[in-house]
Amino acid sequence: MIVYVDILILVNSIINYYILILTTKINKTQYKNFRLIISAFIGSFFSFFIFLPQQNILIEIIFKIFSSFCLVLIAFGYKKIKTFLRSLFIMFSTSFIFAGAMLAIWVLFKPNGLIINNSVVYFNISPVLLVAFSVIFYIVFTVLNSVLQRTAKTATRCNVKITLNQKDENFIGIFDSGNSVKDIFGNSEIIFIGENSGKKLFGNIENISNIYKSRYRILPCSTVTGSKLLEAVRCDYAEIFCGKNKITLNKPIVALSKNINEDEYSVILNPEILVLLGD
């Protein structure tokens, strides 16, 4: 079968793009779409590996690691070694799983127009048809992802009342599955609050270490962007209202976070708190 370079580049650009998108979803990485497109396009030139004689599995793995390294570096840049290596591992694993799935289809069904060599996939398909299917797939993917995210936000949304020095303040919160921060010095639950809502609860957040001397804490926190120290205050208690259910937390630690977009919610909770519903 004749392999056309333009179709080879187009096919692998699209494959690379969706693998990068999947990497961002798994790793919860912020990204710029134009960087993903550039990375996917440049990465498609690695597909020329298909023209070489069949290599052994070790050479294929080294090639996949190198190509994944380049795609991740272009798409996300380099900030922290831990974040970069995690993205690289996800990208490499996803690429290898995709190639393995295509190889299984090729071995089992021998479809016409499908070629796999050195883990590079080629579909002999009209570019117009390929683009049309890709656009349709992207629209369906975007709509489903939007619906699922909206449903998840609605399901995890709750009302939170925090009491500090006999003063009550109410906020909208969510349970975030990516939040696993715990109090290393005790059994207190950790609540993250946005800066604007923090001003409402604490007052002058620039001077909370002096205002709340006996309650003041420094909270070590690791995120995908690295480790940091957050200012926090031990409050009297918090009441979380999930529909008809209520959870009461005694002396929770409320930490100020700059990474909360307060347009939809201002408080982030650990989903393990939901276990208290059974108490």
- Residue 138 confidence (pLDDT): 63
Number of domains into which the chain is organized: 2
Residue, of 128 and 84, whose pLDDT is higher: 84
Return d(Cα 87, Cα 76) in angstroms, integer. Answer: 9
Of 86, 110, 125, which one is at a domain's C-terminal end? 125
Of 79, 107, 125, which one is at a domain's C-terminal end? 125
Of 105, 125, 145, which one is at a domain's C-terminal end? 125
Lowest mean pLDDT across 29-43, 47-61, 136-150, 233-247: 136-150
**Alpha helix positions (H), 4-126:** 5-27, 33-44, 57-76, 81-109
Please count the other Cβ atoms lying within 10 Å of the Cβ belonging to residue 194. Answer: 21
Residues sharing a CB contact under 8 Å with residue 123, sequence separation 6 or more, in sequence order: 7, 11, 113, 114, 130
Confidence of residue 225 (pLDDT cuts 50, 70, 90): very low
The full DSSP string for 267-278 is EEE-GGGGGGGG
Span 114-137, average pLDDT: 65
Residue 75, sorted as left (phi over 0), alpha (psi -120 to 50) or beta, turns out to be: alpha
Return d(Cα 261, Cα 239) in angstroms, integer. Answer: 22
Domain residues for 22?
Answer: 5-125
Same-domain status, 17 and 90: yes
**If you average pLDDT over every residue of the chain, what do you get?**
79
Share of the chain above pLDDT 70, in %: 72
Span 78-87, average pLDDT: 82
Taking the whole predicted model, whether its pTM rises above 0.85 is answered as no
Same-domain status, 110 and 163: no
Return d(Cα 250, Cα 266) in angstroms, integer. Answer: 20
Domain assignment of residue 144, yes or no: no
Q: What is the pLDDT of residues 37-59, one digit of tens each?
A: 999 999 888 888 877 787 777 88
Same-domain status, 91 and 174: no
Q: Which of 171, 175, 172 is nearest to 155 (CA)?
A: 175
Confidence of residue 175 (pLDDT cuts 50, 70, 90): confident
Beta bridge partners of 267: 173, 193
- Residue 227 confidence (pLDDT): 64
Same-domain status, 36 and 114: yes
E strands, 88-225, are 114-117, 120-123, 157-164, 167-175, 190-194, 216-223
